[in-house]
Structure 1
Amino acid sequence: MKNRNKWIVIIAFFVLLMMPSICLAAEVDVGYFNAQKYKVLTLIPPIVAIILAFLTRNVIASLFIGIISGSLLLTIPGNNIFYGIVDAFIDVINRMVTSLADTWNAGIILQVLAIGGLINLVTKMGGAKAIAESLSKRAKNRRSSQIITWLSGLIIFFDDYANAMIVGTMMRPITDKMKISREKLAFIVDATAAPVAGIAVISTWIGMELGLIKDAFSTIGVNADAFGVFVQTIPYRFYNILILFFIVISVLLLKDFGSMRKAEVKARKEGIISSGHGIDISDSNEGIKHLDQKGLKPSMSTAILPIGVLIVVALLSFYFSGYKNIIGGDSQALINLLKESPISFVAIRETFSASDASIALFQSSLLAGIVAIIMATTKKIFTFSEAIDIWMEGLKRLLITCVILVCAWSLSSVIKELGTAKYLITLLSDAIPPFLLPTIIFLLGAIISFATGTSYGTMGILMPLAIPLAYSMNLEMSFIIVSTSAVLTGAIFGDHCSPISDTTILSSMGAGCNHINHVKTQLPYALFTAVITIIFGYIPVGLGMSIYIVLPLSIIALFIGIQVLGKKVE
């Protein structure tokens, strides 16, 4: 009996010794493990998807093959080829189902479909045509029409998805009339989507950004105000700022270069607004004949009221969704804030940060659609049944966009499991001189976000690494803030121009532009702006130069670059 108790004690002792190891093993990052295991092979899925997208001009097939290639890497080891292929196919299906099961993704899919139905109905009621005719009075030339598009992108600052879908669709008739290529329209829309939402102090992005900043600073033992840090990073978000100035400068000079100029030449000289087939929401002239037959004239109210409802209800949904989440949470300080000052700037900021943005946008899109259906019926433009059918038709036209989004999310999932981003960080982040750290962080963010098509994922990977690394090299808060901004703006680069990015896909769709043409034409502009960001932005501030000197110099460099490289389309 004594021996038995002795062995029980010994076994229990060894179990206790092994517990930390067991726990650590359970917490092993699968992505990190696979990055060490597969190394350079982790780059195969994004490279395959990106190269095939350019070569085949078929986004869905390219994304699907990219997902399959990643799944094969994960399933073939330990199996024969046949079982590996079968398991890979099952893995792809599971990833697609899982992506749809995610409440955020499901909300985005529903929002895309609801906005598609809304815009199709608004267009067929003649609202888009009426707005186009009204704006065309102010958009008297190519400059003013593009500047109005740019301003519209700034107005819808609170969400990049809503921006990409609304602005392109509403401005397309005007830019078509001015013989501006769909590629140029898609670029302006895309460049005012994520870059604007990423620096807006009230947006669907800020919750993610503030959370990452707060967590990263806590790891270095600094109790920093996350929102204060966020605001201080804004002047250093060189890519966000410069891509917005790029639009204005190129429009005012009427100069383009690279593939974009070729597209503009075709639009101006040959009347070819867009090459290839785009993902179109609806024809801007649809519904006008129906109005003529009934003796009705297009009215701006049929567009302004539903779109106004969309924007106002979206903002209200952000607030009340966040309010509900905060009141039901554990933060007593935030709860007291909402009770004492429910409509203060800080309260609004916090509620927006805590909101379920995808659900809020779906709610607003659905309600706006209901308003449009009621207007179509009461104005006797359509019967109730016809209005429902037209709304459903808009949903059907966006099914292909939903398929692309599901494939993009699935590819992102397999890339994350393979540890692609972690391998890139390991590969590129050794032996960095302190003054080059912001530049290296920006490059890492740009490469990872372009390869993965996700800014959120890139921020989540880099922020916990960048801030401690910056803190270990230089204790000055200004240096840490610059490094923080490099993470945020580097992540925007890929979100803006990667062919597998959500907003790039939605911008192509909103502008009615062939997706691959959009990527090919805007990529030189994005790369040019990224070069200016590094040479005239992060390297000088890394060396200690004041932002009040660096930012104006970088804008001047941008102007000179466009002046030298660009040519007018006569």
Structure 2
Amino acid sequence: METFGLLSLIPVIVILVFALITKDTFISLFLGVASGFIIVAHGHPLTAFNGFLDGLYTVMKDHNTAWVLILCGLFGSLVMLMQESGGVLGFSNLTHKVLKTRKASLIGTWILGIIVFVDDYLNSLAVAAAVRDITDKHKVSREMLAYIVNSTGVTVCAIVPISTWSAFMSAQMEKAHMTEGFSPATAYVHAIPFMFYAWLAVLIVPLFCLKIIPLFGPMKKAEERALKKGQVFSEASKAALVEIPDEEKKFANIPCRAFNFLVPMLVVAALTIITEDILIGLFAAIGVCFVMYLPQRLMTVQKFFDNVMNGLVDMFPTLVIIVLSYVLIEVNNQLGLVDFVVKVALNTVNPALLPVTIFIVIGLLSFASGSFWGLAAIAFPIVGPLASALGVNNFLCAGALVSAIAFGGHICMYSDTVILASASTQTTNAEYFRTSAPLVMIPFGLAAILYLALGLIL
């Protein structure tokens, strides 16, 4: 495969620049993808267009793409059903009895995000659907809500040994011979204490919520807008919304029961744990909604399936962005972005600096490429032999690598988790990145210091 060296960084730079200028995720992603294929085609427009079509076909034929698109579409249908049944409003009314203050609503969102640890996709989609009504009433900006939701998504899944993340990452540790004679699951547990970024990213959230650490930058302005003007949406996010429904007026004379929200969500969580496939949980939950809602006369059969289709329609912009982000990963592969950065950064490193180098380089690469589990599959076989050859603690290096991947999932605006967290909180990816990035750099910097210190000590 032809390598393009520093030119492979151009699409990422284009995306970041235009995201900050336009605050539009689609335009930024499209221009980044276009610049990547133009580079691969050596400047020939027609060849670049054909390359884009080939990349799009490759992405659409991949079973992982189909899995994610079906998952997101089904979750859109499930949320629509729960909303139209009054279940979401019923759960929100229930939480009002517990979360009576603004700070309580923020901390409650954080706790709920930790509880939903089974899967990062489930976390991103479910938590915001459960709490956004109550956070709106307490004038919490949607940007802040998105930050809290995504801070308890990939990061919590990384440090919990019974999540989809742990299952995948422990398998990568075994393939890279980093288990030190333990079983993959036990080896992963040994690496969890060294996942400094994931721990710090989760634990810093309540410090912001309780104002122990004051907010700053764009997030501070977003919260001031929500508090002083009552505008929980930014202008960019509000413009992207088709409609902001008034739930209370809609269900004024209809009983809103919390169990119409809780039961389907518990079905999703339980079957995801049992079957290790969230799709099965989603299909089952939609079936449970059919069995529950029709006898209560909350909707007719026709209305039920209309809601299923309307939920799919609502998720369509999100699905387009997911496909485009996967096409970006494809063109990054053609540019040799991962190979270029990893070979340059890791092959000449000092043993004491290996953990911090792994964290910073793989973290920035994860952020730049939008590739996470794929990047882990590439990086573990490189990091494992390096750690062994240099005599560096395997669990420390594995913890640094998983932390780095979690960092990318936390802040990369075209990552699937950020896309889903933004969709569920009804803010744009670009707004999420603009407001959350300064806050995320605090745990990133602290984690880098810890990896440097332990690398020198161990």
Deviation at 1:227, TM superposition (A): 2.2
Give me the whole-angstrom Cα distance separating, in 1, the residues matched to 2:242 and 2:409.
22
Name the amino acid aligned to 2:23. R
Give the alignment of 1:162-311 within 5 angstroms. 162-217=122-177, 223-253=181-211, 255-275=214-234, 276-277=236-237, 283=244, 285-286=246-247, 289=249, 291-292=251-252, 295-311=253-269
- Given that residues 129 and 284 in structure 1 are in contact (C-alpha distance below 8 angstroms), is that contact kept between their aligned partners in structure 2? no
Specify the alignment match of 2:448 in structure 1.
534
Specify the alignment match of 1:132 in structure 2.
92
1:30-89 C-alpha deviation (Å, 9 max, x unpaired): 3xxx33xx211111222222222222222222222222222222233xxxx6xx322321
Name the amino acid aligned to 1:91. G
Deviation at 1:284, TM superposition (A): 6.2
Deviation at 1:414, TM superposition (A): 1.1
Give me the whole-angstrom Cα distance separating, in 2, the residues matched to 1:257 and 1:442.
25
Give the alignment of 1:508-527 within 5 angstroms. 508-527=422-441
Specify the alignment match of 1:379 in structure 2.
296
Give me the whole-angstrom Cα distance separating, in 2, the residues matched to 1:54 and 1:416.
25
Question: Structure 2 vs 1, CA of residues 492 and 438 (structure 1 numbering), >3 Å: closer, same or farther?
Answer: same
Match of 1:145 among 86, 105, 112: 105
Specify the alignment match of 2:79 in structure 1.
119
- Given that residues 281 and 398 in structure 1 are in contact (C-alpha distance below 8 angstroms), is that contact kept between their aligned partners in structure 2? no
Deviation at 1:281, TM superposition (A): 9.7
Work out whether 1:90 is the aligned partner of 2:50: yes
Give the alignment of 1:534-553 within 5 angstroms. 534-535=448-449, 537-544=450-457
Instruction: Note the residue ranges of structure 2 that are not aligned, 5 or more in a row.
Output: none
- Aligned Cα RMSD in Å? 2.0
- Given that residues 129 and 425 in structure 2 are in contact (C-alpha distance below 8 angstroms), is that contact kept between their aligned partners in structure 1? yes
Give me the whole-angstrom Cα distance separating, in 2, the residues matched to 1:499 and 1:446.
14
Give me the whole-angstrom Cα distance separating, in 2, the residues matched to 1:131 and 1:284.
17
Deviation at 1:389, TM superposition (A): 0.8
Deviation at 1:291, TM superposition (A): 4.2
Give me the whole-angstrom Cα distance separating, in 1, the residues matched to 2:180 and 2:268.
40
1:330-370 C-alpha deviation (Å, 9 max, x unpaired): xxxxxxxxxxxxxxxxxxxxxxxxxxxxxx32222122122
Name the amino acid aligned to 2:293. A
Question: Structure 2 vs 1, CA of residues 290 and 261 (structure 1 numbering), >3 Å: closer, same or farther?
Answer: closer
Work out whether 1:391 is the aligned partner of 2:308: yes
Specify the alignment match of 2:31 in structure 1.
65
User: Which moved further from structure 2: 38-47 or 169-178?
Assistant: 38-47
- Given that residues 164 and 189 in structure 1 are in contact (C-alpha distance below 8 angstroms), is that contact kept between their aligned partners in structure 2? yes
Q: SS of the counterpart of 1:277?
A: helix
- Given that residues 281 and 394 in structure 1 are in contact (C-alpha distance below 8 angstroms), is that contact kept between their aligned partners in structure 2? no
Give me the whole-angstrom Cα distance separating, in 2, the residues matched to 1:282 and 1:201.
40
1:83-129 C-alpha deviation (Å, 9 max, x unpaired): x3223212212222322222222111111111101111111211111
Question: Structure 2 vs 1, CA of residues 282 and 117 (structure 1 numbering), >3 Å: closer, same or farther?
Answer: farther
Work out whether 1:458 is the aligned partner of 2:458: no
Q: SS of the counterpart of 1:256?
A: coil
Specify the alignment match of 1:558 in structure 2.
none
1:7-48 C-alpha deviation (Å, 9 max, x unpaired): xxxxxxxxxxxxxxxxxxxxxxx3xxx33xx21111122222
- Given that residues 120 and 282 in structure 1 are in contact (C-alpha distance below 8 angstroms), is that contact kept between their aligned partners in structure 2? no
Specify the alignment match of 1:109 in structure 2.
69
Match of 2:417 among 503, 515, 525: 503
Specify the alignment match of 1:350 in structure 2.
none
Deviation at 1:222, TM superposition (A): 6.3
Specify the alignment match of 1:328 in structure 2.
none
Q: SS of the counterpart of 1:378?
A: coil
Name the amino acid aligned to 1:59. T
Instruction: Note the residue ranges of structure 1 that are not aligned, 5 or more in a row.
Output: 1-29, 319-359, 546-570
Give me the whole-angstrom Cα distance separating, in 1, the residues matched to 2:222 and 2:24.
20
Specify the alignment match of 2:18 in structure 1.
52
1:234-279 C-alpha deviation (Å, 9 max, x unpaired): 0110000001110122222363122111111111111111212266
Higher Cα Rg, which structure: 1
Name the amino acid aligned to 1:62. S
Deviation at 1:433, TM superposition (A): 2.6
Deviation at 1:483, TM superposition (A): 1.2
TM-score, normalised relative to structure 2: 0.94
Aligned residues with identical type, % of pairs: 28
Specify the alignment match of 1:42 in structure 2.
8
Q: SS of the counterpart of 1:513?
A: coil
Match of 1:438 among 345, 349, 355: 355
Give me the whole-angstrom Cα distance separating, in 2, the residues matched to 1:503 and 1:56.
22
Give the alignment of 1:322-333 within 5 angstroms. none
Question: Structure 2 vs 1, CA of residues 470 and 174 (structure 1 numbering), >3 Å: closer, same or farther?
Answer: same
Name the amino acid aligned to 1:542. G
Question: Structure 2 vs 1, CA of residues 437 and 281 (structure 1 numbering), >3 Å: closer, same or farther?
Answer: farther
Give me the whole-angstrom Cα distance separating, in 1, the residues matched to 2:30 and 2:295.
45
Give the alignment of 1:355-434 within 5 angstroms. 360-429=277-346, 431-434=348-351
Q: SS of the counterpart of 2:294?
A: helix
Give me the whole-angstrom Cα distance separating, in 2, the residues matched to 1:482 and 1:313.
33
TM-score, normalised relative to structure 1: 0.76
Name the amino acid aligned to 1:266. R
Q: SS of the counterpart of 1:272?
A: coil
Specify the alignment match of 1:561 in structure 2.
none
Give me the whole-angstrom Cα distance separating, in 2, the residues matched to 1:316 and 1:465.
33
Specify the alignment match of 1:568 in structure 2.
none
- Given that residues 53 and 499 in structure 1 are in contact (C-alpha distance below 8 angstroms), is that contact kept between their aligned partners in structure 2? no
- Given that residues 180 and 187 in structure 2 are in contact (C-alpha distance below 8 angstroms), is that contact kept between their aligned partners in structure 1? no
Question: Structure 2 vs 1, CA of residues 170 and 515 (structure 1 numbering), >3 Å: closer, same or farther?
Answer: same
Q: SS of the counterpart of 2:397?
A: helix
